[in-house]
């Protein structure tokens, strides 16, 4: 049961302003994650760094998110969802602004890691907040909207940062996104309801509650699903530029970057999956999404470029079908410490992403693009097995 932070009647039903503030925070958090991805050549030129070192400004964020996700959910169980989300997003805005003044690449990488520490205060708590505030009939639509907002955030971060940097320099991109993030933090502080779990357990107890979710086979399966989803996703899209820039395609950086617009298909897939979940069991739809993701990977092995792009669209549709439902499944399945349950999902999701950004690289060195696809497909197969054998078990 949830009770308001203030004594008295329960807070009113969610308003459209509250929902949009939640989405704004999600967009800002995910945009911050991807700011430097289109800026890597600029960073290499300014700091005289090879691509691998410049890319640390991306991997540092992912690693920090994976670590910090373990604490964000339990903190929200203790301190309240709104306080954690608004405060973390406000601090994210401050660190984002500091990135604009980084004197060295090492300083920028450290500040990017600091950004990653604050991102889960939004991303790991938003689903738990939605579970507190939205009735069951609306929860899956709300979570689908959050997943759609994460797609928008990723696109805004990549495309917006690149456009700003092209006209005003890469430092201006950080200033602009710091302002965007600060506005999102203010909107959440004003619009979100002050709800918290009724039993305010100490942080240690909240952490134990989070780890206790691993004893539930259905939740453990969902965590494996999340890890496999992001492993396959980041593995394909990290090493895709190597394939598209090589023969027979020989695409330049601009055209390679434009291929990432296939991400927009996730905006369609997420709310559609949420609607279908009212008629079809979540685990069946998650399994379907994983199977479609694997199909897209197989299609991306094709030689004609249009088929490769079509395969990427199919992959995105499948990935976001499963990802739109898995966090809601975790929230609905967890019997308590829901913030911790959501945070654990996000942590394992990013652990999978961390592995997916490294292991397929070894596959690339050993066997090229086909080996990358095989390693990513194998991860998805693990997710399919976990969904069928663990998530679909009777409660």
Angstrom distances, CA of residue 314 to CA of 81, 273, 318, 321: 35, 14, 6, 11
Residue 301 has a CB neighbour count (10 Å cut-off) of: 16
Question: Is residue 238 pLDDT above 50, yes or no?
Answer: yes
Query: What pLDDT was estimated at residue 200?
Result: 56
Say which range, 22-36, 59-73, 180-194, 243-257, has the weakest mean pLDDT: 243-257
CA dist 195 and 176 (Å) reads 31
DSSP code per residue over 59-76: HHHHHHHHHHHHHHHHHH
- Which of the given ranges, 14-18, 41-45, 278-282, has the highest pLDDT on average? 278-282
The mean pLDDT value for 184-199 works out to 79
Report residue 233 as tokens: 């996703």
Closest CA to 59 of 15, 121, 110, 107: 110
Question: Is residue 68 pLDDT above 90, yes or no?
Answer: no
Confidence of residue 35 (pLDDT cuts 50, 70, 90): confident
Query: What pLDDT was estimated at residue 206?
Result: 58
Q: Per-residue b/e over 220-251, b at no fewer than 16 CB within 10 Å? A: bbbbbbbbbbbbbbbbbbbbbeebbeeeeeeb
Residue 234 or residue 293, greater confidence: 293
pLDDT tens-digit map of 317-333: 999 889 888 887 887 78
Confidence of residue 5 (pLDDT cuts 50, 70, 90): very low
CA dist 9 and 26 (Å) reads 28
Question: Which domains are delineated in the chain?
Answer: 13-200 (1.20.1250.20), 209-395 (1.20.1250.20)
Query: What pLDDT was estimated at residue 2?
Result: 29
Is the pTM higher than 0.85? no
Cβ-proximal residues to 322 (8 Å cutoff; 6+ apart), any chain? 225, 229, 273, 285, 286, 288, 289, 290, 293, 383
C-alpha triplet 389, 279, 14: angle, nearest 5°: 105
Query: What pLDDT was estimated at residue 207?
Result: 60
Query: What pLDDT was estimated at residue 8?
Result: 40
CA dist 149 and 195 (Å) reads 22
Radius of gyration of the chain, Cα coordinates, nearest whole angstrom: 20
Q: What is the mean pLDDT of the chain?
A: 82
Residue 1 has a CB neighbour count (10 Å cut-off) of: 7
Question: Is residue 9 pLDDT above 50, yes or no?
Answer: no
Query: What pLDDT was estimated at residue 162?
Result: 76
CA dist 351 and 345 (Å) reads 10
CA dist 379 and 294 (Å) reads 10
CA dist 225 and 221 (Å) reads 6
Query: What pLDDT was estimated at residue 213?
Result: 67
Query: Per the omega criterion (within 30 degrees of 0), is the bond before 92 cis?
Result: no
CA dist 6 and 100 (Å) reads 39
CA dist 76 and 203 (Å) reads 10
Confidence of residue 125 (pLDDT cuts 50, 70, 90): confident
Confidence of residue 379 (pLDDT cuts 50, 70, 90): very high
Query: What pLDDT was estimated at residue 174?
Result: 95
């Amino acid at each position: 049961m949830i009770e308001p932070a203030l004594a008295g009647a329960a807070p009113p039903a969610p308003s459209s302003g509250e929902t949009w503030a939640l989405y704004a925070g999600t967009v800002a958090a995910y945009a911050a994650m991807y700011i430097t991805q289109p800026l890597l050549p600029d960073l290499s030129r300014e700091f005289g760094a090879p691509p691998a070192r410049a890319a640390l400004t991306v991997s540092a964020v992912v690693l920090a998110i994976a670590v910090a996700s373990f604490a964000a959910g339990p903190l929200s169980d203790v301190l309240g969802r709104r306080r954690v989300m608004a405060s973390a997003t406000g601090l994210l805005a401050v660190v984002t602004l500091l990135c604009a003044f980084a004197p060295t690449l090492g300083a920028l990488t450290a500040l990017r890691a600091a950004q990653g520490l604050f991102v889960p205060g939004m991303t790991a708590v938003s689903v738990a907040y939605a579970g507190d505030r939205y009735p069951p009939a609306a929860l899956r639509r709300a979570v689908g909207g959050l997943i759609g907002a994460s797609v928008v955030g990723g696109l805004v971060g990549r495309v917006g940062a690149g456009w700003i940097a092209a006209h005003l320099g890469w430092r201006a991109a950080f200033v602009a996104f710091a302002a965007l993030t600060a506005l999102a933090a203010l909107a959440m502080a004003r619009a979100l309801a002050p709800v918290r779990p009724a039993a305010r357990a100490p942080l240690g107890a909240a952490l134990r509650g989070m780890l206790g979710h691993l004893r539930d086979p259905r939740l453990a399966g969902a965590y494996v699903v999340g890890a496999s989803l992001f492993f396959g996703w980041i593995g394909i899209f990290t090493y895709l530029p190597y394939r598209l820039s090589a023969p027979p395609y020989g695409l330049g950086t601009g055209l390679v970057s434009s291929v990432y617009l296939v991400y927009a298909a996730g905006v369609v897939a997420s709310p559609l999956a949420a609607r279908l979940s009212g008629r079809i069991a979540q685990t069946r739809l998650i399994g379907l999404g994983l199977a479609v993701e694997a199909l897209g990977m197989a299609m991306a092995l094709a030689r004609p470029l249009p088929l490769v792009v079509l395969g990427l669209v199919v992959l995105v549709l499948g990935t976001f079908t499963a990802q739109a439902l898995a966090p809601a499944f975790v929230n609905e399945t967890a019997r308590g410490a829901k913030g911790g349950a959501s945070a654990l999902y996000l942590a394992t999701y990013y652990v999978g992403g961390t592995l997916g950004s490294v292991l397929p690289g070894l596959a690339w060195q050993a066997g090229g693009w086909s080996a990358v696809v095989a390693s990513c497909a194998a991860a998805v197969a693990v997710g399919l097995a976990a969904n069928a054998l663990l998530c679909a078990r009777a409660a």
